[in-house]
Structures are given as structure tokens and as C-alpha cells.
Amino acid sequence: MFGKSFTCRKSWLTLSLPRKESFMMNKKIRQSWMRAVFIYFFCAMIIACGYGFAPQGEYIDKRIQKIYVGQFDNKTAQAELENYVRTAFIDQFVQSHRFKVVESVELADATIKGGILNLTLAPLSYRGNTIAAEERATITMELTFREKESGKDIWQSRGIVGTVDYTVDNNINLLPATRRTAFIKLANDTAEKTFNQMMSGF
């Protein structure tokens, strides 16, 4: 009798163990799934907040939607620099979705007018004793964001400064192309920084 009871209890334990292990496994799977869902929604919330906190020009009159970006005055000896800068600012307005860039002043609600005051090149390191291995380009600009109808300045700065560092190749013949790439990056970075300041009202 005792032998039968012991055998039955042993059989019950044997049958119960896989169920317990299965339950624990399912519990771990649920916990992992819930953790993954939590992380996903947390990351999504952070990204959404990042977009929400980006300056959108809330202080600017909503009626101002069409923007004309004029030619920039270039007071430096570097040809084409004004074109790089103008293109960079046009790209910023296009990417914002807050404004529409138009092709003439007549179609615009507001205008961008600016000038490149100075461009300096300075060596950061040398290859050997006299050949620059790295250079830094620094641009100084002025810019006015003006409402066309009233002539009122929405935003203005006469001390916009941007910098870019770049490596100089051993082949001196590649220097013009290297600097051109650097100047385009300089224009893009400076335009992005200035655009964010305009939209923030700083």
C-alpha cells in the first residue's frame, strides 16, 4: 500500500515538473516581451520630444510663410562662397516645412538678406616644418530676416561666426577641391546654426 502511494506521488511530481518549467519559461518570455515594448515606447517618446522641442519659429507671425532668400554679398576673395551660403539657407527653409521658398521678392512674405564679411584660413598642424596638415576655416557673416509688407526686421545679426576643420592632402593639386568641400560644409553648418537661432528668436 505504501509502495503504491509512494509510486503515485513520484509519478505526480514527475508530471508536474515540466508544467512548472513551462510556466516559468512562459513567464520569462512575457517579461522579456513587456520589457521590449516598454523600451520601444520609451525611445519613441524621447524621439518625439526631440522633434517637439526643436524650434519652429512659434514667435513668427503665422501669415509669414513664403520666403525669398536673396543673393549674399561676398566681401571675401573666395569665389562661389556666396552661392554655397545661399544654397545652404534655402535648404534650411525647405527642410523646415514651416515655410515655402519662392523665386522672387514679389511672391514673398519675408526676405533673407545677408553678406559674408570675412573668411580666414589658419593652419592647425603641420606636415614636416612648413606644409599644413590641417586647416581651420572661419566665416563671419551678417543676416537680416525681414517682413516685406511692414519692413520690420524679424531677426537680425551682424556677428554670425562659423568654423570648420579639415585635413589637407599631401598632393597640393587637391587643395582647391579639399577647400571647396570644406567651404560647403562650413556654409551648411553655419546656416543650420543660424536658422535654429532665428526660429528660437535668439
Task: Give a yes or no: residue 59 inside a domain.
Answer: no
Please state the rounded mean pLDDT for residues 27-47. Answer: 60
Q: What is the pLDDT of residues 92-123, one digit of tens each?
A: 999 998 999 999 999 999 999 999 999 999 99
25 shares a domain with 81: no
The CATH number assigned to the domain holding 91 equals: 3.30.160.150
129 shares a domain with 167: yes
Phi, psi of 17 (to 5 degrees): -60, -50
Cα–Cα distance for residue pair 177/165, rounded to 1 Å:
15
> What's residue 51's pLDDT?
43
In the predicted structure, residue 20 carries a pLDDT above the cut 80: no
19 shares a domain with 75: no
> Is-contact 166 183, C-beta < 8 A?
no
Which amino acid would we find at residue 175?
L
190 shares a domain with 92: yes
CA max distance for the chain? 109
Cα–Cα distance for residue pair 198/202, rounded to 1 Å:
6
Q: What is the pLDDT of residues 128-183, one digit of tens each?
A: 878 899 999 999 999 999 999 999 999 999 999 999 999 999 898 999 999 999 99
Q: What is the pLDDT of residues 49-98, one digit of tens each?
A: 444 445 566 789 999 999 999 999 999 999 999 999 999 999 999 999 89
Take residue 165 and report the three cell numbers written for it. Answer: 576643420
Cα–Cα distance for residue pair 82/80, rounded to 1 Å:
5
Question: Of the ranges 35-39, 41-45, 110-114, which one carries the lowest mean pLDDT score?
Answer: 41-45
134 shares a domain with 179: yes
Question: 195: pLDDT confidence band, cut at 50, 70 and 90?
Answer: very high
106 shares a domain with 161: yes
Mean pLDDT of the residues in the chain:
84
Question: 38: pLDDT confidence band, cut at 50, 70 and 90?
Answer: low
Indicate the number of domains in the chain.
2
> Is-contact 53 95, C-beta < 8 A?
no
pTM for the model stands at: 0.72
Cα–Cα distance for residue pair 113/36, rounded to 1 Å:
50
Q: What is the pLDDT of residues 179-193, one digit of tens each?
A: 999 999 999 999 999
Take residue 157 and report the three cell numbers written for it. Answer: 545679426
105 shares a domain with 47: no
122 shares a domain with 94: yes
> What's residue 127's pLDDT?
87
SS3 118: strand
182 shares a domain with 111: yes
> What's residue 128's pLDDT?
80
> What's residue 15's pLDDT?
46
Tell me which of 155 and 43 has the higher pLDDT.
155
> What's residue 3's pLDDT?
46
| Owning domain of residue 10 | 1-53
